[in-house]
Structure 1
Amino acid sequence: MPEEEQAWFPKEEVLSYEEMLRVLRVGAGLGIKKVRVTGGEPLTRPGVADFCAQISRIPGIQQVGISTNGTLLSKLEQGETIAARLVKAGVYSANISLDSLDRSSYQRTTGRDLLPKVLEGIDAAISAGFRAIHLNCVLMKNQTDREFVPLINYAYEKGLLLRFIELMPVSTQEVLSENNFLSTHAAKQMVEQHYGELIPLPDFKTNGPATYYAIPGTEQKIGFIGAMTNLHFCESCNKLRLTSDGKLRPCLGSYLEFDLKERLRAGCTDEELADFIHGVVARKPKEHDFRHNYQPNRRMIAIGG
């Protein structure tokens, strides 16, 4: 896996919390109901819990979530964990990346020896009382195929939802090589070799595009997200992504991005901002470009997962 190195933007190029809140207020007026704060790692930005509290108070916003690598959730801030502060701020759900339970594999994949902090963070999230916690594992050949059982057992012990996600060429095309890519179909077969035939859960839904199953004989649910192999993957997508430097993207797997910051700082009215958002939604493609020799122009951490 490539190291995700991202140069820091100069402060003046990054949207302020006030600018983002204005966009969200206008978006809520257009019918946006759910907001997820992502990164990069969103918890590295000072004041993120207070920012989430302000989002949750916007009329029309029904649910606020956060996506994190988990390393800072157990950090103490103002006498309590960041996880606890987020829950008090009204954050409903936490998506936590957990690609491996093997410390050396985790370090090799992420470039950092932080698995113990991630596991502490997951425990802090459970203690804090998020309404939903999802563990996200990116499927990698010659790694995940050795860890299905430990990961599923860990999720079962913690009472958490676990999702397996196909690699996508968001940051680099190299992830789709024969040495790296593991499909959700192959992953499901490997899981069934150990647990038996998985039980489909067609009526179980979360905010994402996962297909869910139950592990036989348990209440444990696991999901598979097949962005590359599921040809119907994009049909229900209604997401927009606002990058930290003020670009509005209608699709993760597309080159399309529109400069919202320029309009904000040029003094546009809320009505003009609403028209701009409508225009971006109208440009949302029918499907992503990942299957068409997509050449990334931004790394994932600069878009938002």
Structure 2
Amino acid sequence: MQEWLPREEILTFEETLRLIRVAAELGVSKVRITGGEPLTRRGVLNLVRGLPKIRGIHDIGLSTNGTLLARDVEPGMTMARSLRDAGVRSVNISLDTLDRQVYSDITGRDLYAQVLEGIAAAIAAGFDQIKLNTVLMRGRNEDQLIPLIEFAAARSLILRFIEMMPVSTTEVLDEDNFMSILEAKRLIESSYRSLIPETEFRTNGPATYYQIPGRQQRIGFIGAMTNLHFCESCNKLRLTCDGKLRPCLGSYLEFDIMKPLRGGASDEELKQFFLGVVDRKPEQHDFRNNYTPGRKMIAIGG
């Protein structure tokens, strides 16, 4: 069952935009709206429209499950097109399988058709970049890697394979459900020959990219569990909807910025709060140390 916080316990759009403006004055230039599913937030387009007005913010992205992108927000205008017009330049869409039943089993909802419609709507909207994200799950989708590559190729989309991380409060990683990016890469190379490293290509995330031999197609791998250098280039902060700043996804550390924000703190005081959180950013995540999250991923932001 979905858990909803009382409205008074979540940041208003005005509060969120103020915090982003303060962060931008410290040098932050990129913002990604994520969740949970951010498009379920009523009036989310009002938040998005406010971001390009903040001096210094020049890269706005969105991570979504894709189910609401094709919805009409007004006659003839999809959510995807409205987001593009509001300033979103890149979209990450979760797609773990092309099998409708497996999709339902993984997500608990039969919304596979809506995801495909959402991907089509995103393509039609003309975002600068669309990436499909696939979480590797042994026993569930290892037979989907090649079909997903072909699906992405047919639509000229970037596809990224992501190792499962311990971000659920109930699921434990073990040899029955965990699949490494190395194993996925070997499986893919058994069909396409050796992948060609693209060391100069980078996006905003920690993925390493390769080209499929004989075609102009990139696929990426994100190995939070097996890549020992995964955290070296991380410069992200996460702001949760209930006003917590988290310096690391794979850490218990979080700092309540809502309290000073609503307590009358000046912009300068909020800047010092941000800097203090940055100083507490750990060198490594705790995923490999029997980490059990205190929050579900949907309450943190992926």
* Runs of 4+ with >3 A deviation: 172-175
1:222 aligns with 2:214: no
1:154 aligns with 2:158: no
1:123 aligns with 2:154: no
Cα gap change, 1:174/1:46 in structure 2, threshold over 3 Å: closer, same or farther?
Answer: closer
User: By how many angstroms is 1:176 displaced?
Assistant: 1.3
* Equivalent-residue separation in structure 1 for 2:192 and 2:139 (angstroms): 20
Tell me if the contact between 1:98 and 1:137 (Cα under 8 Å) persists in the aligned partners: yes
1:94 aligns with 2:91: yes
Aligned-residue sequence identity (percent) comes to 61
Tell me if the contact between 2:61 and 2:91 (Cα under 8 Å) persists in the aligned partners: yes
TM-score by length of 2: 0.98
Aligned-partner SS, 2:183: helix
Aligned-partner SS, 1:176: coil
TM-score by length of 1: 0.97
1:1-305 equivalences in 2 (<5 Å): 5-79=1-75, 80-172=77-169, 174-305=171-302
Q: Which runs of 5+ in 1 are unaligned?
A: none
Tell me if the contact between 1:107 and 1:114 (Cα under 8 Å) persists in the aligned partners: yes
Aligned-partner SS, 1:275: helix
* Equivalent-residue separation in structure 2 for 1:88 and 1:175 (angstroms): 41
* Equivalent-residue separation in structure 1 for 2:172 and 2:98 (angstroms): 21
User: By how many angstroms is 1:144 displaced?
Assistant: 2.4
User: By how many angstroms is 1:175 displaced?
Assistant: 4.0
* Equivalent-residue separation in structure 2 for 1:97 and 1:150 (angstroms): 15
Cα gap change, 1:173/1:112 in structure 2, threshold over 3 Å: closer, same or farther?
Answer: closer
Tell me if the contact between 1:134 and 1:163 (Cα under 8 Å) persists in the aligned partners: yes
Aligned length: 301
* Equivalent-residue separation in structure 2 for 1:50 and 1:15 (angstroms): 14
Q: Which runs of 5+ in 2 are unaligned?
A: none
Tell me if the contact between 1:228 and 1:291 (Cα under 8 Å) persists in the aligned partners: yes
- Residue deviations 1:34-85 (CA, integer Å, cap 9, x gap): 0000011000111112211111111000100000000000000022100000
